[in-house]
Amino acid sequence: AKAKGRNRYEFFSAALSEQLQEVRTLSAQLHESLVNNEFELLYQPQFDLMTGTITACEALLRWHPAHGGENVSPAVFIPLAERTDLIVQIGRWVMQQACGQVKRWQKKGINLRVDINVSARELVEPDYFARLDACRLSHGLTPQDIGIELTENILIKADNDVLEALKQQRQKGVEISIDDFGVGYSSLSYLRQFPVSHLKIDRTFLKDAPSKAYDSALMEAIVNVGHKLDLLIVAEGVETEEQARYCKELKVEYAQGYLFAKPLTVDAFEALFAKTSRG
Options 122, 145, 179, 253; binder of Ca ion; rule CB under 5 A: 179
By C-beta, is 21 or 73 nearer to ligand C2E?
Answer: 73
Least Å from the CB of residue 203 to ligand C2E: 6
Closest CA to 190 of 157, 168, 223: 157
Least Å from the CB of residue 185 to Ca ion: 14
Options 122, 145, 149, 175; binder of Ca ion; rule CB under 5 A: 149
By C-beta, is 79 or 140 nearer to Ca ion?
Answer: 79
Least Å from the CB of residue 183 to ligand C2E: 10
By C-beta, is 13 or 243 nearer to ligand C2E?
Answer: 243
Least Å from the CB of residue 75 to ligand C2E: 5
Q: Which stretch binds Ca ion (CB under 5 A): 19-27, 36-44, 231-239, 259-267?
A: 231-239
By C-beta, is 212 or 262 nearer to ligand C2E?
Answer: 262
Which among Ca ion, ligand C2E, none contacts residue 60 (Cβ within 5 to 8 A by kind)?
ligand C2E
Beta strands in 112-195 (DSSP E): 113-117, 146-151, 176-181
Least Å from the CB of residue 48 to ligand C2E: 17
Beta strands in 95-197 (DSSP E): 113-117, 146-151, 176-181
DSSP β-ladder status, 113-117 and 254-255: unpaired
Amino acid at 112: L
Q: How far apart are CA 227 and CA 201, in angstroms?
A: 13
Options 44, 46, 117, 256; binder of Ca ion; rule CB under 5 A: 117
Q: Report yes or no: 103 and 114 within 8 Å, Cβ to Cβ.
A: no
175 binds Ca ion (CB under 5 A): no
Query: Which residues touch 102 (CB under 8 Å, ≥6 apart)?
Result: 112, 113, 114, 139, 141, 145, 146
Which among Ca ion, ligand C2E, none contacts residue 226 (Cβ within 5 to 8 A by kind)?
none
Write the burial class of residue 83 (CB in 10 Å: 0-12 exposed, 13-18 middle, 19+ buried). Answer: exposed
Least Å from the CB of residue 126 to ligand C2E: 18
Q: How many CB atoms lie within 10 A of CB 17?
A: 10
Which among ligand C2E, Ca ion, none contacts residue 3 (Cβ within 5 to 8 A by kind)?
none
Maximal CA-CA distance, the chain: 73
The binding site for ligand C2E (CB under 6 A) comprises 44, 59-61, 73-75, 78, 94, 117, 119, 179-180, 203, 237-239, 256-258, 263
Total number of residues binding Ca ion (CB under 5 A)? 5
Q: How far apart are CA 43 and CA 122, in angstroms?
A: 21
Amino acid at 6: R
Query: Which residues touch 267 (CB under 8 Å, ≥6 apart)?
Result: none
Closest CA to 125 of 97, 103, 98, 95: 95
122 binds Ca ion (CB under 5 A): no
By C-beta, is 93 or 194 nearer to ligand C2E?
Answer: 93
Least Å from the CB of residue 42 to ligand C2E: 7
User: Which residues of this protein are in contact with Ca ion, per CB under 5 A?
Assistant: 117, 149, 179-180, 236
